[in-house]
Amino acid sequence: MGAEPTREVQVYDDGDGPGATAARLTGRTATGERPVSGALTEVTLDDGRTVMVKRGGTPAEVAAEAAGLRWLGRAGSGGAGARVPVVHGHDDRWLVTDLVPRGRPGRDAATDLGHALAALHAAGAPAFGSAPPGGPRKAYIGRAPMRNVEGADWPEWYAEHRVLPYLRSAVDDGTVASGEAPLIERLCERLPDLAGPAEPPARLHGDLWNGNVLWGADGHAWLIDPAAHGGHRETDLAMLHLFGCPHLDEVLRGYERAAPLADGWRDRIGVHQLFPLLVHAVLFGRGYAEQALSTAKAALER
**Which residues are known catalytic residues?**
207
Residues 87/66, Cβ–Cβ less than 8 Å: yes
Residue 118: phi and psi, rounded to 5, are -60, -45
Cα separation, 7 vs 134, in Å, equals 36
DSSP alpha helix (H) spans, 76-106: none
* Cα 137 off chain centre by: 16
* Cα 28 off chain centre by: 30
Could you tell me which of 225, 217, 224, 218 has the C-alpha nearest to residue 2?
Answer: 217
Residue 173 φ/ψ region, left for φ over 0, alpha for ψ in the -120 to 50 degree band, beta for the rest: alpha
Residue 97: phi and psi, rounded to 5, are -130, 170
